[in-house]
Structure 1
Amino acid sequence: MVFTALLCVLLSLCSCRAQVPLVLWSSEGYGLPQQTEPAAGEIVSGGELVSYMKSALTTSPHNVVLFLQDRLSMDDFTVYGGVFGNKQESVFLNLESTLEASAHLVLPSLDWSAALSVEELFQEELGIPAVHIKAAEFPQHQLNSSQPSLLVFRLPYTTGTQLKELLKKNDETIGDVLNSLKARGVPYTAVYTGLKPSHITEDFSVSASGGFSGRSLLQAPSNTTARAPVVFNSTTSGPCILLWANIMNISYDNGPWFNLAPLTFDNIVNLDGSICNETLSRLVLNYGNVLTYKSFQVVFEMSKVYFPVSARNWTLMEHVVLNYDGQSVLFNASRGIYAPAEYSFHCQTVSNTDSPLLVPNSTLDNATHWRILFTDFQIQGFNVTGNFSYASDCASFFTPGIWMGLLTTLLMVFILTYGLHMIMQLRTMDRFDDPKGPAISVPQNE
């Protein structure tokens, strides 16, 4: 089966960490344009989802039906679907049979924060408001086939022994809605996804002290929760700056570290003073009572610059500024923090100490008294579409480990080649004469 075989392959290649699957299909008689499917393991961002939607709506009907389940993961298809067992035992009979008979697209790894905005993305693309409707009321709902429509059906999710029955009931709801549309002769484009993942696998990350955190026994799940990024919204263009970090440590005169992350992401940090336009983005994080200072600011200044050599626009982090009680320190970052303007920038460690990406301004002596350490740092100042775009990572392709492996391999190849050359030069003797002179002749007595 097309759907089950596709899911079987995708399930073996991707993980279920903070992501949800999305299935898009059109009614019979309508096809989807050829689209490049995401690479195995790649998590589709909000910007990539928009491109998939726009491409699909060029040929598929503009009557869109959204089936938004409270929670959904690929594990639900694995356990309760017909992927690894008898299809007759699957709870997704209607969905699977529909996909086998129609053109469809499966995104197994959609960023769950992007899934939250699926409804808003379709509203913006179609230019119409969404209509939330219950499945039981749909047969009496009037549809105008000549006008686009956006119908949203919310599907519940539970845990425990009732999950299988609930998923089966949700599949029957999908089947009833699609059969009703078919009976009315209304062409449609349907989407089935979840608002949050039902299963999340925690990954490990590097802590500020250099060790690994996040490892735990399978029986003891981590208590950490994912924080939402800081979003600055322009009054004219919507979201224009995104910032996220696992740890945002600062220290003065080798004192103890102060982590700004809880104040930044757990609470609503004040963004007064932030601006963004086509060429400049400035994100200002305003705090109070940091270390011994009553007022404290962290400012990220970014600019968009066109480089003729690469023939594209780049985002440069010009400066990172700390303002505290009327004083300022400035760190230059343009040589280390940059990315294509369409991408976000990500780096595991951003600091001004070891392998610094932040260089203190030589004209400010007090800048050398400050220490900055941001871990799992990601920022985007241009072309924001609701969520982080593909990340340009600061890690070089040839890491020290790769160089050590290459040099060791080249050394071993050289030794092997030299040994083979010496063996090939060996020659066996073709004469066994005594080189000292003629053979001795012994006369015999008669």
Structure 2
Amino acid sequence: MAALRTGSGNARMILHFFLFFFAVAKSDEQVPLVAWASDGFVLSPVNTPSAGHTVSVDELESYLNQALSTTPHNLLLFLQDKLSVDDFTIYGGVFGNKQDSVFQNLEAALLSSSSLWLPSVSSSATALVSTLLQNQIDAAPLYMNPDTLAQLRLNTSVAALLVFRLPYSGGADMMSTKEVLNGNDEVIGQVLSIMKAQSVPFTAVFTALWPSRVIEDASPAVHSVWSRSLLQSRGEEPSAPNPPLEFKEKGSTCILMWAEKLVVSQYRSGKWERHDLTSKTFGKGVIPDLSGSSCNESHSRLVLKYEDVLDYRIFKLIFVMNRRYYKVSARHWFTMDLVQLEYDGKTASFNASRHIYAPAEFSYRCESVSSSYYPQLSPHSDKDNANDWQISFDDFQIQGFNIAGKDFSYASDCASFFTPGIWMGLVTSLLMVLVLTYGLHMIMQLRTMDRFDDPKGPAISVPQTE
């Protein structure tokens, strides 16, 4: 027993050495990690760290010790070569059609059991996840595949760590990556089916050694679903000031909208009269009237009904969105076709389809949406009263299709590529190139004298004329 304790102490010293080494070497790369238990077992709850925090090696060890303390010690580790949260966004079915997801077996396992989701874990921590799990059960890892597992008879009374290595294709061929991820999900499904057939309880962990791409904005450290809400990663704020506006159809959320500020203005008596609708639309305990709203797979209509707005007893703000398939891009997109104001039997309509659009799986987000400054909303017709009205949204975000849960999907931002900083850099570089070109041109125009004064020969005489 003394020798065993000494060996365990030495192993822990070596482990901490490697923890420090990897933490220094790769502390800025983030990899997602998800863990779940078989039916009948629940993972212990984990205290949620601050938003945007990357889980370190020591923190991951603490999370695993706490979460897996009440689950079976038959551990399954699905260790992929590369993985990032964007893989779930691009190839998963949470933001689109469930049937197109390459993670169907993984998603089904998470929906039917207790799970732990860490979207931002340091790659130095995930590289040592096998060692961290090994220390929990004091058993060496066994590397195998589904065929080998099917031939074994596991003993439920003996702890085991089974490791399944999964590849990843990160080349330019997007379809090859999708096929590889789909094959990895089938491996996970086969392993889970074998464990269920043998009636062996288990705890599974799915992660990777390295990120598949660089992610600049870290996601919240613990989240219960795959999606990354833009509202949950805004600077250093732990959460959004107010929850988004939510419309449900048949018990499920189908439209989400949020804005930091919502203002309508009408031109009356030679001046603009403003009314702020933010407090009537968003906020805890605020329940706006959404009667008249509707949604389906191809059409969404969000109706906000107010009372006593600019002396109008009934005032409606309506968003009309449509989902269409475009052959050029070979995918579905949604556009906001109209933003309408209905008041006192009159209508003011604004066209937004040329500016407010996004892939159908994403949400649309823009820092400012207005009908006056840099207008994204233009009068739909000269026959209505749109010229007498102005609408402005600050920090606007909306989604009318493919919503999973109560969170926005990945946001398609309206910010253009050529920002003011980029334009300043391009103009400055152009001026420097022009100056350099002019200088080279002047140097090339220099000419040397065709005759020089030789001190050993006769002096050059220049005749003088009177």
**Equivalent residue for 2:297, pick from 274, 278, 290:** 278
Q: Deviations over 1:238-258 (max 9, x none)?
A: 222111111111122211342
Residue 282 of structure 2 aligns to a residue whose secondary structure is helix
Task: Give unmatched runs, 5+ long, in structure 2.
Answer: 1-14, 87-93, 95-102, 117-131, 141-155, 161-199, 208-220, 225-231
Aligned AA (1:347): C
Change (3 A) 1:129 1:368: closer
Give the equivalent residue in structure 2 for 1:292: 311
Give the equivalent residue in structure 2 for 1:324: 343
Give the equivalent residue in structure 2 for 1:334: 353
CA distance in 1, matches of 2:411, 2:111: 32
CA distance in 1, matches of 2:48, 2:78: 25
Give the equivalent residue in structure 2 for 1:343: 362
CA distance in 2, matches of 1:62, 1:80: 29
Give the equivalent residue in structure 2 for 1:24: 34
**Equivalent residue for 1:376, pick from 395, 399, 406:** 395
Q: Deviations over 1:384-415 (max 9, x none)?
A: 22322222222211134422321221121121
2:278 matched to 1:260?
yes
Identity %: 39
Matches within 5 A, 1:396-407: 396-407=416-427
**Equivalent residue for 2:248, pick from 221, 233, 245:** 233
2:262 matched to 1:251?
no
CA distance in 2, matches of 1:151, 1:100: 15
Q: Deviations over 1:34-55 (max 9, x none)?
A: xxxxxxxxxxxxxxxxxxxxxx
Aligned AA (1:24): V
Q: Is the 8 A contact 1:230 1:264 kept in 2?
A: yes
Aligned AA (1:186): P
Deviation, structure 1 residue 378: 0.9
Q: Deviations over 1:108-135 (max 9, x none)?
A: 99xxxxxxx9xxx9999438986xxxxx
Change (3 A) 1:125 1:433: closer
Matches within 5 A, 1:157-176: none
Give the equivalent residue in structure 2 for 1:394: 414
Q: Is the 8 A contact 2:315 2:342 kept in 1?
A: yes
TM-score (norm. length: structure 2) = 0.56
Residue 368 of structure 1 aligns to a residue whose secondary structure is helix
Aligned AA (1:183): A
Matches within 5 A, 1:131-210: 150-151=113-114, 183=159, 186-190=201-205, 194=222, 203=235
Change (3 A) 1:63 1:388: same
2:48 matched to 1:71?
yes
Change (3 A) 1:292 1:70: farther
Change (3 A) 1:129 1:362: closer
CA distance in 2, matches of 1:250, 1:365: 17
**Equivalent residue for 2:431, pick from 404, 411, 426:** 411
Deviation, structure 1 residue 224: 8.8
Deviation, structure 1 residue 24: 2.2
Q: Deviations over 1:196-234 (max 9, x none)?
A: 9xxx99738xxxxxxxxxxxxxxxxx8995322122222
CA distance in 2, matches of 1:3, 1:323: 63
CA distance in 2, matches of 1:268, 1:10: 47
CA distance in 1, matches of 2:239, 2:39: 41
CA distance in 1, matches of 2:381, 2:453: 84
Give the equivalent residue in structure 1 for 2:108: 126
> What's the C-alpha RMSD, in Å, of the aligned pairs?
5.0
Change (3 A) 1:151 1:13: closer
Residue 415 of structure 1 aligns to a residue whose secondary structure is helix
CA distance in 2, matches of 1:101, 1:311: 37
CA distance in 1, matches of 2:294, 2:385: 27
Q: Is the 8 A contact 1:281 1:381 kept in 2?
A: yes
Deviation, structure 1 residue 95: 7.8
Aligned AA (1:126): A
Aligned AA (2:429): T
Aligned AA (1:241): I
Deviation, structure 1 residue 374: 0.2
Q: Is the 8 A contact 1:270 1:285 kept in 2?
A: yes
Deviation, structure 1 residue 187: 3.2
CA distance in 1, matches of 2:386, 2:246: 28
Moved more, 96-105 or 361-370: 96-105
**Matched positions, count:** 328
**Equivalent residue for 1:361, pick from 357, 380, 386:** 380
CA distance in 2, matches of 1:101, 1:385: 27
Deviation, structure 1 residue 416: 1.1
Q: Is the 8 A contact 1:337 1:357 kept in 2?
A: yes
Q: Is the 8 A contact 1:69 1:195 kept in 2?
A: no
Aligned AA (1:247): K
Change (3 A) 1:187 1:324: same
CA distance in 2, matches of 1:300, 1:273: 11
CA distance in 1, matches of 2:382, 2:372: 18
